[in-house]
Amino acid sequence: MGRTADITAGLGGATPALRRYARALCAGAGQAIADDLVQSALQSVGARIRARELRPADLAEARIEAYATLVALAEKKLANAPGPASRHPPIVHGLAGLRFDERAVLLLVSLEGFGYDAASRIVGATREVALARLMRARAALGAEGSRPVAPLEGARRAASHLRVVK
Amino acid sequence: MTPSTLVEEADLHALVDGELDPERRRKVEDHLLQHPEDAALVEGWRRQNAALRAAFEPVALEPPPLSLREAAARPPAPPAGQGPVETGAIHWGRPGAAPHPARKLDDIRAARRRQALASTLLTLVAGAAVAVAALLFLASRPPAQDPTTRAIPATSYAARAGLTYVTYALDARPVEIDAARRGELLAWLQERVGFSRAPDLTGAGLRLLGGRVAPGVAAPAAFLVYERDDGARVGLYFERADAVAAPSGQRGQGVSVIEWRAGGFAFAFVGALPPDVMQAAAEAAAAAVVAAPSEAR
């Protein structure tokens, strides 16, 4: 019992990373949609763990379940979601242009740092299929990611942040 | 090429994603030296990764909204048969089931106020900490500390090297010319900076990524970027200077800067690796830049 409570409490620590992933997965569709997805995924996994439908061995397993639930929910929810606005950096437009299943794997590996085995478990595909999606995503994203525009915009945001503080 | 050294596209991806064992990794890296077109692919994917992190990492640094705190520990809000509550606010669970619902509501509201206040204070404190750290970093080498040396410009070489490191080393485009075009890089630095040498620091576990010309304290400076196997980066900065002095180290902001002078130039080795690793690599670099003077000028 205590272990289950520890794991559900520990999942709270994964919330910032899940939000980052959800926001990227939504590719400009909106912050509210992304946060709703994270909330639904965390609640669903927490409930299934308490109901003993899921018995993750440790927090890492529970985290993989949370990402898997998020991906499954996002696929349905993003089917008719709006695309990115012009104010979004090119990398977000590039992501929005990818197929959902390719975007999901690319972000798991590139943004979240999952290994190929974990990423393929999360998207429910074999390692080979997941790797093929990753390769297609990188090829399709192409130069969008190489342009320094996105990091520069990030730096500009950070700089304006600093000015406010001072 | 024998089958054992055959490198496929999947290997290139696996290199970027850290999925290769050390032996295979070395083979793929050797392959990249021979095949610049594949090296360009790998570099492009690394830039994609960096661009993704730059675009979305700020989300992970924000405090999560109240509706997401402890979401995993709460029962899902919508009871069966009713539509989901998509208000974006806290999902209340089943308030009717609580023995003193009104009091509970007040408690929760008070907790929300406390959390909001705490997050505001945290933001203010974090902002102040960033400002103080930036001031400390910029003022990390006041001339008054060392009255025996001649007055150093308001911006010291070490501080400028630190700024150059923060600006470029962690950027998606850390270098202007990569190590594959080493000759072009060295010729450029010779022309603009007046000195060009890219010390081989593989003995210290550091691989040259490339370099660029950067603004110095009083003249154009050179900034070379090295990367360790685990992705940690350090920089070697040099600029024309007058005095000759022994290496001296200083630390600030988790980034150490080891500065020395040789041959009329100021050098600074900058990075966030452990001090002994930094010292060893700086000594290797210092030895390499004074060796073989015929190449230097």
In a domain, B74, yes or no: no
Residue A68 · residue A121 · CB < 8 Å: yes
Residues B192 and B272 placed together within one structural domain of the fold: yes
Domain shared by B108 and B182, yes or no: no
Do residue B160 and residue B113 come from a single domain? Answer: no
A99 min Cα distance to partner chain B (Å): 17
For the stretch B210-226, pLDDT in tens is: 999 998 888 889 999 99
Q: Does A43 reach chain B within 8 Å, measured CB to CB?
A: yes
The answer to whether residues B203 and B273 belong to one domain is yes
Least confident of A17-26, B95-104, B124-133: B95-104
Q: Are residues B241 and B267 in the same domain?
A: yes
In a domain, B144, yes or no: no
Identify whether B180 is part of a domain. Answer: yes
Nearest Cα of chain A lies from the Cα of B79 at a distance, in angstroms, of 13
Residue B194 counted as domain residue? yes
* Claim to verify: residue B36 and residue B167 sit in the same structural domain: no
Together in a domain, B277 and B196: yes
Q: Among B33, B48, B63, which residue terminates a domain?
A: B48
Q: Is residue B84 part of a domain?
A: no
Of the residues A19, A37, A43, the best mutation for testing chain B's interface (the one with the most B CB atoms within 10 Å of its CB) is: A43
Q: What is the CATH number of the domain that holds B271?
A: 3.30.200.100
Within-domain flag for B56: no
B260 bridge partner residues: B267
Q: Are residues B156 and B287 in the same domain?
A: yes
Instruction: Count CB-CB contacts under 10 A for residue B147.
Output: 8
CB B221 within 8 A of CB B215: yes
From chain A residues 88-107, the ones with a CB under 8 A of any chain B CB are 89, 91-92, 95, 107
A16 touching chain B per CB within 8 A: yes
Cβ-defined contact of B76 to A17 (cutoff 8 Å): no
How many domains does chain B fold into? 3
pLDDT digits (tens, 9 = 90+) for B146-179: 433 344 444 678 778 888 888 888 777 889 888 8
47-76 of A, contacting B, C-beta below 8 A: 47, 49, 66
Q: Token pair 């794991």 is at which residue?
A: A7
Is A46 in Cβ contact with B74 (below 8 Å)?
yes
pLDDT of B84 strictly over 90: no
* Interface ipTM above 0.90: no
Q: Are residues B202 and B243 in the same domain?
A: yes
pTM for the predicted model, two decimal places: 0.51
Per-residue pLDDT, averaged over B78-102, amounts to 47
| Mean pLDDT of all residues belonging to chain A | 82
The total of other beta-carbon atoms located within 10 Å of residue B187's CB is 13
B86 within a domain of the structure (yes/no):
no
Last residue of a domain, one of B138, B160, B186: B138
The per-residue pLDDT for range B265-291, each reduced to its tens digit, is 888 888 878 777 888 888 888 888 777
**In-domain check, residue B82:** no
Is residue B156 located within the same domain as residue B282? yes
For residue range B183-200, what is the model confidence (pLDDT) as tens digits?
Answer: 889 888 888 888 888 888
Domains of chain A with bracketed CATH: 2-165 (1.20.140.160)
Domain that holds residue B208: 151-296
Q: So what's the pLDDT on residue B242?
A: 61
Do B119 and B239 lie in one domain? The reply is no
Whether residue A83 contacts residue A95, with contact meaning beta carbons closer than 8 Å, is answered with no
Do B233 and B114 have their domain in common? no
On chain B, the residues whose CB falls within 8 A of the CB of A38 are: 68, 71
Query: Would you list the DSSP string of chain B?
Result: --GGG---HHHHHHHHTT-S-HHHHHHHHHHHHH-HHHHHHHHHHHHHHHHHHHHHHHHHHSPPPGGGTTGGGSPPSSPTTS----SSS-----GGGSSSHHHHHHHHHHHHHHHHHHHHHHHHHHHHHHHHHHHHHHTSS-GGG-TTSPPPPSS-HHHHHHHHIIIIITSSS--SEEGGGHHHHHHHHHHHHS-------GGGT-EEEEEEEEE-SSSEEEEEEEE-TTS-EEEEEEEE-S-----EEEEETTEEEEEEEETTEEEEEEESS-HHHHHHHHHHHHHHHHS-HHHH-
Nearest residue to A33 via CA among A93, A80, A65: A80
Nearest CA-CA distance, residue A114 and chain B, Å: 9
